[in-house]
Homo-oligomer: A and B are copies of this chain.
Amino acid sequence: MHYTRDNMATLLRGHDINPTHQRIEIAHALFSRQEHLSADQVMAIVNTRHSETSKATVYNTLKLFLDKGLVREVIVDPSKVFYDPNTLPHHHLYEVDTGKLSDIDAMHVRISGLPDLPDGMVTEGIDLIVRVRRAA
């Protein structure tokens, strides 16, 4: 499956999102790269040739994608949020010097011994972040 713009439109419809020009471009930026991107980076990618999509639309669209479950948020850097086209359960490796963020498959990772949740609470997600840096 190639990440053509037509396929992006289908993907959006499948998530109950009306596929507009801007939304298709933003989805294409994320899915064709399969990378973690900040709003800023999405903005830059989508407006490389000439300015086409406003800041407001980039932020609104990323929030829409998030609500519809098309992307996931990764909170790892206090200064910006990353958006992740990979919504399968997985964890993250964060290189603190470079800011590089990569996926860790959740398949083989086991987390045990967590306490019971407070009553009437449900888990929305478990984020595991391994922070690494160059050996001194």
Contact = CB atoms under 8 A, between A and B. Distances in A.
Contact of A75 (B77, B122, B123, B136): B77
A95 B121 contact: yes
Nearest to A82: B78
Contact of A104 (B95, B115, B123, B127): B115
Contacts of A114: 104, 109, 130
Contact of A121 (B115, B125, B134): B134
B135 A130 contact: no
Interface in A102-136: 104-105, 108-115, 117-118, 120-136
Given A121-B135, A123-B130, A109 B109 contact: no
Contacts of A132: 117-118, 121-124
B113 A124 contact: no
A108 B113 contact: yes
18 contacts: A78-B81, A95-B121, A96-B124, A105-B115, A108-B115, A109-B111, A110-B112, A114-B130, A117-B130, A121-B135, A124-B131, A124-B132, A125-B131, A126-B128, A126-B129, A126-B130, A127-B129, A128-B129
Interface of A: 73, 75-78, 80-81, 95-96, 104-105, 108-115, 117-118, 120-136
